[in-house]
């Protein structure tokens, strides 16, 4: 009589999400404390690191926009003054031709008032162009992000990540059963041939990031317990 072979189910991979680092609520509560805290930290870091850059950009754009508007206004007023001078020459020539006298003071006052209204209109038209001019000069500013494969991005010189990677690499190179080795809790296949269960695939990078407000994670209740006959359960007795 040949012994019966029993199949052993594979190891169940249980994902254990940590509790909230702020309010200590369970992960399945999907609170927004960490997301809101991250937003505050980002704003604070941005204010510390980018304030001087923003100030420099704003000053540069403001100066160039003012220079453009003033030059634009100067060109309009030059045309306006040229037209006013030509108008004064005409009324002066007309007065001397017909009346042998200078123009009437009323005509001169009306011409001066017309010139003043024209200059006010030119200045108003110039100032109204500020939004367009500011957007143009802001558009000339270039901010370049580093490439994802640059060493400063992949391996920030902060110390923690590189040290942890060295420890994990050293533990993975140790022989089974030695100090610092984590023995896998489950095996699969024939009990006579103990094949170690391969490690679970790492989580995608997007899943490891703190979700923003409104991005709720679904509740995670873990995997169901293994069926009888698996690891830590005795096999059923053979039939008689």
Per-residue pLDDT of 157-209, as tens digits, reads: 887 666 666 666 666 665 555 544 444 444 444 444 444 445 555 544 544 45
Q: Is 55:48 a contact under the CB 8 Å cutoff?
A: no
Token readout for 163 is 């040290």
Share of the chain above pLDDT 70, in %: 60
| Whole-number pLDDT of residue 85 | 95
The alpha carbon torsion through 95, 100, 104, 110 (nearest 10 deg) reads 20
Q: How many CB atoms lie within 10 A of CB 110?
A: 13
**Euclidean distance between CA atoms 176 and 188, whole angstroms:** 17
| Whole-number pLDDT of residue 7 | 60
Integer angstrom CA distances of residue 78 from 17, 67, 149 = 72, 16, 56
What residue ranges do the domains of the chain occupy? 61-141
| Whole-number pLDDT of residue 79 | 96
Region of 5 (left: φ > 0; alpha: ψ -120 to 50; beta: rest) is beta
| Whole-number pLDDT of residue 6 | 56
What pTM, to 2 d.p., does this model score? 0.59
| Whole-number pLDDT of residue 173 | 61
Instruction: Give the relative orientation of helices 105-127 and 33-99 as an angle to the nearest 10 degrees.
Output: 160
15-23 CB contacts, 8 Å cutoff, 24+ apart: 15/203, 15/220, 15/222, 16/222, 17/217, 17/220
Q: Reply yes or no on whether the pLDDT at 2 is more than 80.
A: no
Task: Compute the mean pLDDT over every residue in the chain, rounded to the nearest whole number.
Answer: 77
Q: Is 20:29 a contact under the CB 8 Å cutoff?
A: yes
Maximum average pLDDT range among 38-47, 168-177, 214-223: 38-47
**Euclidean distance between CA atoms 14 and 9, whole angstroms:** 15
């Amino acid at each position: 009589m040949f012994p019966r072979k029993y199949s052993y189910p594979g190891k169940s991979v249980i994902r254990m999400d940590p509790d909230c680092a702020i309010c200590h609520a369970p992960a399945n509560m999907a609170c927004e404390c960490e997301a809101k805290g991250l937003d505050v930290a980002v704003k604070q870091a941005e204010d510390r690191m980018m304030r001087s850059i923003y100030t420099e950009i704003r000053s540069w754009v403001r100066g160039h926009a003012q220079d453009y508007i003033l030059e634009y206004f100067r060109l309009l007023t030059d045309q306006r003054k040229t037209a006013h001078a030509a108008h004064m020459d005409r009324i002066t020539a007309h007065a001397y031709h017909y009346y042998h006298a200078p123009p009437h003071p009323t005509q001169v006052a009306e011409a001066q008032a017309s010139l003043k209204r024209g200059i006010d209109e030119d200045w108003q038209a110039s100032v109204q162009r500020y939004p367009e001019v500011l957007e143009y000069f802001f558009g000339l500013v270039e901010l370049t992000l580093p490439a994802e494969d640059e060493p400063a991005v992949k391996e920030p010189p902060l110390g923690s990540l590189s040290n942890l990677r060295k420890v994990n690499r050293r533990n993975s190179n140790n022989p089974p059963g030695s100090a610092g080795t984590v023995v896998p809790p489950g095996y699969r296949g024939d009990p006579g041939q103990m094949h170690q269960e391969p490690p679970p695939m790492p989580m995608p990078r997007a899943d490891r990031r703190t979700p923003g407000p409104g991005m709720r994670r679904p509740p995670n209740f873990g995997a169901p317990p293994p069926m009888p006959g698996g690891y830590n359960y005795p096999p059923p007795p053979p039939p008689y």
